[in-house]
Structure 1
């Protein structure tokens, strides 16, 4: 039997943990902790693939399923059986009061709802069905289909519901612009780059699949409202300038001979096809992969052409079918999942020379990228290395993944050999060279921070740039600190300056790649600890105080994606296992492992743990594009809590080495039959 910290049976009932407001702090039970650790560790080990890696499902919102339906419709495949299964999943995800959100518990989202309504109508759902009527009214109340974001409007243009003149114009000649102008595709984030190039092809060729009136969604448009514009009320602004350029390019499109556009179109075509190489699809992410199929078809490629077949297969590989429904992943996360799983298992006591750890390490080493990528535009001559988030995405090694992989490899015996040292030296040199001028680190490139680009009409996905962020910067400090770098190293010192400049008045940090301030703050505290920064520094203690201040009544932590839109939600939301684990690990790093707050957090994790060692977590705690796209990593609810429980056990053992329960042997700490006193 698995028990609570207070000795009662653990299950999935409502949480009633304590806070500082006069409620009882649970008694510590080392046996419960040992059992919880053992169960989670075994579950995670059981998920290891035969070749040594881990990969959990990566869940996005329903735009993935609806866009797949719209893609198949554009190809004339709306009768494909998978369309009905995609729509079954879509229908299941609707909001109780109509429409769709972009994360569980989120508000109605116009663009997601328009695409879902369109998909359901294409599969044959009666527009007078009560659910469709409710969605339609919500869409009209929100401004109608013409108020969708620019990326949704491209889908509507492809299927003949609006004119391409109602979409932002993306000139293919962007590929010719040099980077020193600050407006080239290499001044945009890598993910934007892979979307913009195929959209530029569509902007010129303007393919349309014409549908019957019965299939269309004319009823979602409001004739009393114009399409949205990014134009501001100011007489002069850069947004107004780019809106004027957009209109000029659309006018030029109608009068400029096609021969004049051919070089730009050919260059965009060549760039796109070249970037199919060494990748699981263009950019290895769903939006770019879908746009690339549209672009190939517009360029005249037949459905049975190898490039089209390959692109479609790569998209279909992202599908997960269960019963009579199909859902779609935005990409896959094997490198990220494998590295964090290894770290958590090592923390839990799995030896560095355990065959399963060594097999995972070899898998990671086999996936090091040793070929050139787009990042070399800004760092020519730097030796290629790094790891991608996905199985194969060689043009885009991920800075965050590379740091996490090094942290994982460092916990294995393989790194004691010359091969391991060579990999580490190469990757660290790459990471140091990828530091931005502001002292921070970004996701894929260097100094992609020209704010002017945020004003262009197709920048409304809120991620056209790839600027420094606190969570990745701190992760780099963590690996550097683990390797012996300290605060007096120039790169570390600049990284620290960046972190202090971005600390919020409340003491926390914004989390770019996880939700949100809990994620950013946890990671910064780990980075500071790793470089032996004085953890009694006032800035550090302010961060720890903030984490404690947002602990909830049940002892856990949770933060909604709403915190990206409204700072009032900072550190607030439904409590989750992953976010509780982040907070617990952050407080342990800040030197507060002995605190009642941490003990309550651990109690929450053990009380809400399932008998098989897992946790239930339907919430999205990962971030794609803030305010636009969020993620649920299905393994976050496993390896982060395992990490927190293991680090708590180690911290307690370090403070009382002669008082550790014998069951702790399973976690790699000294044995003693007596329970710990807290």
Structure 2
């Protein structure tokens, strides 16, 4: 039986805070009663039955374990509003809040944080399988139990047409199909294996869509170790920069894994240099990029193989591996994310297969594993701090602190160790998401980026080589980051009105102007890290309200309310598809179905903007949907994907269903119902 381990160390691991927030899964042969093992098999089968309806799992293995360990007693049953005309009262909402708070408390780890899956992209797991296969450590690092769960997951995420998507909710692509099919073959699956000949159907999809020559550049890297780049690294976004450092090192070293019967395949890669499957091509190369890459390949590359130009390559290789070493050491070997982790691991092994660095890399691999009813997958990184911050705000919004104070006390125990960081996951991860008090991270236009100050010119985005992302190389400013920074500074100014007042006032003014400048003509804001306009509009409104705007004195807030009201469904909820991120226009979920997380975001937005003072009926209708969606366990259903990155890649934040509906109900109780009373 799989067990989630919290805040535990091990050989080859380093920490700055006694491993607070660390999560990893281990298989325990002796764990679990017969009833528990039977329940695990039941939920696996239930997921399998519905895999094509909703690929988002419910994190049931984690929920079963933590609820047993916490022994928090029975969860109060939620209420249901039977009639559409039944009034929403303080008693009704409070009952739902107690049920949701009890559920959230039962899922809290002993170190105070809330473990949760943070996955979605389907190109995270295959590179690890390929890397360990090339290195020869796949059997040592992935036990039979690991491999069984990985195979389960790879089959579970296969689409009905036989292919695999770019992310969980996406249509089949060559990137997803090629990499996941190869991973299954490496793990021992035969040409006809899998339920309903899953492997044969996967192979057919690949061949029917042009074969592996249609892979985008990241896919080509993994199956041929071929990637060329020339952009100066110090102006690239840290996330992209750390991808291309090990990638360029491996290419410069001309590293190719051992040619075995399994992987032997003759392809004319030079002929297929600019060939991409149409299903993958989100960002086509501009002509200038293809010309630049062609010049580098046919002219520059031959020169770099000959003396004295080869000396320049040797110098560049030393610089590249130096950057890789630095990233390893400052992050204590988890690296900034799973993509970079596997590439850095490969680079350090190629540099020295017997090095201590390679061993330290292997020790941190379990930090990225996550096991649920759909199998074992790789997380992009952890979301520990992210979830803690949202959960605390949700709990405080309920104003039931006397009843649930113990939950907040457990949070404080971990938060005192995490508050000095701005990481998405935990301090050992080493990279900030953004520093909400740093003037140095604010761009000239008043906006804030996600990681670091944008220094590249916009024209350089024309050399984006990924084909599958938009603006991944240099980043940009985001309404979510700007709003968060603005809210923090406004709160700080209120508590310390005399401290650097002129600088803070100027900063808040510029950030507020940026938020208004990036508002869409229809009143919405584009969300870059959540789906999509419902998420971005919540941040845009919250930022403007934090600096003194309100419904009466700010036309931007009124437009935002009008936009959200226009998207309300007949049943009172809201539901936005991840396709909004791709299409850059609000796209409803198929069948005009509501989504509890997006309904919660919208309720929070309308309350924050002051809509309750104008007409609370619309808010009440949304709250009714949340109350009636609550399950017997006090939580809410896991529905369509809620996160996104770089406008095309869907992300699954499994904990959002535990946090945002609770937060919306709490704000409704305290700022709408009690204020009215």
Q: What range describes the TM-score normalised by the shorter chain of this pair? A: 0.7 to 0.9
Match in the other structure for 1:12: none
**Of 193-202 and 206-215, the range deviating more from structure 2:** 206-215
Match in the other structure for 1:38: 98
Match in the other structure for 2:476: 467
State the distance in 2 between where 1:25 and 1:142 align.
53
Match in the other structure for 1:292: 344
- Cα 1:198/1:225, change in 2 over 3 Å: closer
Match in the other structure for 1:102: 166
Match in the other structure for 2:327: 275
TM-superposed CA distance for 1:656, in Å, is 2.2
Unaligned runs of 5+ in 2: 1-75, 277-282, 495-500
Match in the other structure for 2:445: 438
Match in the other structure for 1:383: none
TM-superposed CA distance for 1:631, in Å, is 1.4
Match in the other structure for 1:320: 370
- Cα 1:282/1:449, change in 2 over 3 Å: farther
**Aligned to 1:275, what secondary structure does the other structure show?**
helix
**Aligned to 1:62, what secondary structure does the other structure show?**
coil
Residues 45-68 of structure 1 deviation map (CA, whole Å, 9 limit, x = unaligned): 222222322332212233222222
TM-superposed CA distance for 1:603, in Å, is 0.8
- Cα 1:97/1:247, change in 2 over 3 Å: same
Residues 345-383 of structure 1 deviation map (CA, whole Å, 9 limit, x = unaligned): 1111244994543442352332355xxxxxxxxxxxxxx
State the distance in 1 between where 2:82 and 2:101 align.
21
Is 2:571 the partner of 1:554? yes
Contact 2:368 2:380 in 1 (8 A): yes
**Aligned to 1:139, what secondary structure does the other structure show?**
helix
State the distance in 2 between where 1:139 and 1:95 align.
13
Contact 2:523 2:563 in 1 (8 A): yes
Match in the other structure for 2:549: 533
- Cα 1:26/1:249, change in 2 over 3 Å: farther
Residues 453-511 of structure 1 deviation map (CA, whole Å, 9 limit, x = unaligned): 32336343431122101121122222223334699922122112212221112210110
Aligned residues: 573
TM-superposed CA distance for 1:246, in Å, is 4.9
State the distance in 2 between where 1:193 and 1:3 align.
48
State the distance in 1 between where 2:478 and 2:558 align.
21
Q: Which of 564, 569, 577 is the aligned partner of 2:581?
A: 564
**Aligned to 2:536, what secondary structure does the other structure show?**
helix
Contact 1:272 1:282 in 2 (8 A): no
State the distance in 2 between where 1:322 and 1:479 align.
35
- Cα 1:199/1:94, change in 2 over 3 Å: same
Q: Which of 566, 590, 606 is the aligned partner of 1:587?
A: 606
Contact 1:283 1:393 in 2 (8 A): no
Match in the other structure for 2:636: 615
- Cα 1:143/1:538, change in 2 over 3 Å: farther
Match in the other structure for 2:113: 53
Is 2:198 the partner of 1:131? yes
Please list, as runs of the form range in 1=range in 2, the aligned pairs for 1:596-675 lying within 5 A after superposition: 596-627=617-648, 629-657=649-677
Residues 161-190 of structure 1 deviation map (CA, whole Å, 9 limit, x = unaligned): xxx3xxx3136xxxxxxxxxxx53231111
TM-superposed CA distance for 1:222, in Å, is 10
Is 2:87 the partner of 1:27? yes
Match in the other structure for 1:411: none
Match in the other structure for 1:197: 245
- Cα 1:102/1:242, change in 2 over 3 Å: closer
Is 2:225 the partner of 1:209? no
Q: Which of 220, 225, 250 is the aligned partner of 2:301?
A: 250
Cα RMSD (Å):
3.0
TM-superposed CA distance for 1:301, in Å, is 2.8
Match in the other structure for 1:664: none
Please list, as runs of the form range in 1=range in 2, the aligned pairs for 1:146-295 lying within 5 A after superposition: 146-158=213-225, 164=226, 168-170=227-229, 183-216=231-264, 227-228=274-275, 237=288, 240-256=291-307, 258-281=310-333, 283-295=335-347
- Cα 1:575/1:324, change in 2 over 3 Å: closer
TM-superposed CA distance for 1:334, in Å, is 1.0
Match in the other structure for 2:386: 336
Residues 16-59 of structure 1 deviation map (CA, whole Å, 9 limit, x = unaligned): xxxxxxxx555324333111101111221222222322332212
- Cα 1:480/1:96, change in 2 over 3 Å: same
State the distance in 2 between where 1:50 and 1:116 align.
36
Q: Which of 433, 437, 444 is the aligned partner of 1:398?
A: 433
Contact 2:78 2:632 in 1 (8 A): no
TM-superposed CA distance for 1:263, in Å, is 2.0
Contact 1:69 1:86 in 2 (8 A): no
State the distance in 1 between where 2:376 and 2:284 align.
40
State the distance in 2 between where 1:26 and 1:565 align.
39
**Of 475-484 and 515-524, the range deviating more from structure 2:** 475-484
State the distance in 1 between where 2:373 and 2:101 align.
29
Match in the other structure for 2:69: none
State the distance in 1 between where 2:179 and 2:301 align.
25
**Aligned to 1:276, what secondary structure does the other structure show?**
helix
State the distance in 2 between where 1:468 and 1:121 align.
41
TM-superposed CA distance for 1:292, in Å, is 0.5
TM-superposed CA distance for 1:268, in Å, is 1.7
Please list, as runs of the form range in 1=range in 2, the aligned pairs for 1:467-506 lying within 5 A after superposition: 467-484=476-493, 489-506=505-522
**Aligned to 2:376, what secondary structure does the other structure show?**
strand
Residues 199-220 of structure 1 deviation map (CA, whole Å, 9 limit, x = unaligned): 111111122123334445669x
State the distance in 1 between where 2:186 and 2:618 align.
52
**Aligned to 1:317, what secondary structure does the other structure show?**
helix
- Cα 1:538/1:243, change in 2 over 3 Å: farther
TM-superposed CA distance for 1:306, in Å, is 2.4
TM-score (norm 2): 0.78
Q: Which of 357, 361, 367 is the aligned partner of 1:311?
A: 361
State the distance in 2 between where 1:532 and 1:194 align.
40
State the distance in 2 between where 1:44 and 1:55 align.
11
State the distance in 1 between where 2:451 and 2:479 align.
15
Contact 2:390 2:659 in 1 (8 A): yes
**Aligned to 1:396, what secondary structure does the other structure show?**
coil
Contact 2:576 2:589 in 1 (8 A): yes
Q: Which of 168, 171, 178 is the aligned partner of 1:114?
A: 178
